[in-house]
A and B are shown apart, each in its own frame.
Chain A
Amino acid sequence: MSKPKVAFFDFACCEGCQLQVANIGEPLLDVLDIVQVVEFREVMSEKWNGDFDVAFVEGSITDEHAVERIKKIRERSKILVALGSCATIGGVNGMKNSFDLEEVGKYVYGESYKFFPTLHTKAVHQVVPVDYFINGCPIYQPEFLTVLKCILQGIPYYVPEYPVCVECKLNENVCMYDRGVTCMGPVTKAGCNSWCINNGNICYGCRGLTINPNTEGFKEVLKNYKIPEDFLIRKIEMYNKCKEFDKS
């Protein structure tokens, strides 16, 4: 059996998630044993004209060119994987959606903004169907490997439906709220093994909101900790602004 053909593509992003893949260390050799990477701009110059078994897509969709390009990639791929926050939830690119598009264009390109038409930021699944989601900014390498294995086994990967707190507690971290710091862990989807908190950082909510958050209850908690609500909403919007398009 020939190895599955795998390609990596990027849209609006920092390419950091692809860097995480390239930088995965020892397991990379085992990965290359089981898949054939046919296109990966960040690490190789070869291109591929045929179809892909698996396409990993980093980045969000922010203009018409991107819409056309992602549709073509989708047509050529048996399995499409959204890689990293920009692709899975829109990520930081979504902050653009809080402003008027013309205003944004002018701010960035000045008077020549009309030569650079732009769209509201969308996550990949808001434009084309996505088969697997690997959340995170950047992605968590062990989760990337887990998802890759699921793809090769032909089974679905379920992103945990509970908050980061669950994993954080098992890692016996001191709660950020005990330290007097606001952390997004209680409302953010797990799956990263509370990577940031293990290393002394707070959770920024890069993996998207949990499926069934108790918003009212969380507001009460904020009140108790004397955290202003709009402060938190801004924190949520940093990564999750594109969620609005999921409703439609």
Chain B
Amino acid sequence: MKTEHYRILEKSKITDFLDKLNTISKIAAPVYKGFNNYAFQTIKSAEEVSLKYIPTVIPPKKYFLPTKDSLLEFTVGNELKVEPTVEYENLILFGVHTCDIAGIRCLNMVLSDKPKDTAYLIRKKHITIIGLECNDYCDEFASCAFVGAHLPTTGYDLMFTELEDYFIVHIHSTKGSDIIEKTGLFKPAQTIHMEELKVLREKKSAIFNNEIPTERRYLPDLFDRSFNASIWKELEQKCLSCGNCTAVCPTCYCFDIKENVDLSLQAGERYRVWFSCQLDPFAKVAGGIDFRRERSARQRHRFYRKFRYHIDRYGMVFCTGCGRCSRTCMAGIKLKEVLTSLIRESEAKIWRKWL
């Protein structure tokens, strides 16, 4: 922690900061939607922003990988013309929690893997991320400490941490320091501020306890033993296959590709839309065979995508502990409970072996 990388913003000046930021670029920030729901939206004034919020309905991945994303534009007619395009804009995301930053890092990993997803990478280059650290749990669904996403590590341009009457701001990129300069509201951090930040982090380590009765490093083993666990059968009864859990997940990126032609039938676009492994047509092939027909297999697939398969492929756990899937599930499938059940069943099996 180098003091020169930190700045101080008095709390009373946060409105000024946001309004000034808004003159520099378009800003998207968490906005209250009622009934304990929040959403990232572009804002007109600082008043709209909720500094204290629980994870938004859908994560900020929507700015990196829009729900509907044009891949190609084409004209048919006399000559076939095809042009791959990307739409992007300069955007500052303000108030992104560390769990959602972890989610964007997962997407970066997948979409910069070869062959690179050029559209994603161009869009990402134009987005600035200003994080906002959580000093306490948002609610009982979060499991960010288990996956280590409760602390800022990397993946942002600026990170705001709320202390007594000021924010201490970590500058993590030139994009970030440009903002500090252009807005001109920040003071250099001093040793006392750094001390207070350290105290907060210590306090946090007491508040944020591993929410799951195992450690991250045991996940591969746990999941290798759990393919036929009984919990999957239970989920068969519960799950409605509505696809909410995957739509709200910050690390889900599966998509469908569709076409849209205009009424002349001569021109149109090919685009991708978010899609979900929980839905009926996902793994169906042309002949009608569905390779993941049971709801239990689909739910299992979701959990393995988060906690097992991508560890092999990308060396990362693809869960950020944001708790969205549990919060949104009408059937009450809760990630923490599912993991705990896997652990208990696995432990019981091991004990039986020994006895």
Contacts and interface: CB of A to CB of B under 8 A. Distances in A.
- Judged by CB atoms under 8 Å, the answer to whether A and B touch is yes
Interface of A: 27, 30-31, 33-34, 145-146, 148-149, 152-153, 160-163, 165-166, 169-170, 172-175, 177-179, 186-187, 210-214, 216-218, 220-221, 224-225
A166 B237 contact: no
Chain B interface main SS type: loop
Nearest to A170: B67
Given A170-B247, A173-B57, 13 more contacts: A33-B263, A34-B264, A145-B263, A149-B263, A162-B279, A165-B242, A172-B33, A178-B37, A186-B242, A213-B240, A220-B238, A221-B240, A221-B331
B90 to A, nearest CB: 22
B67 A161 contact: no
Main secondary structure of the interface of A (DSSP, over half): helix
Interface residues of B, number: 38
A220 B235 CA distance: 12
A152 B264 CA distance: 10
Contacts of A172: 33, 39, 56-58, 62
Contact of B248 (A160, A169, A178): A169
Given A153-B261, A161-B279, A174 B57 contact: yes
13 contacts: A27-B263, A30-B264, A160-B281, A162-B276, A166-B276, A170-B58, A172-B58, A174-B37, A211-B280, A214-B295, A217-B240, A218-B240, A225-B330
Given A174-B34, A179-B35, A161 B281 contact: yes
Contact of B241 (A34, A175, A179, A212): A212
Q: What 8 A-B pairs have minimum CB-CB distances, sorted nearest first? A: A30-B263, A169-B247, A165-B242, A162-B279, A174-B37, A170-B67, A161-B280, A178-B35
Nearest to B273: A170
B36 interface: yes
B281 A162 contact: yes
Contact of A162 (B238, B239, B243, B260): B243
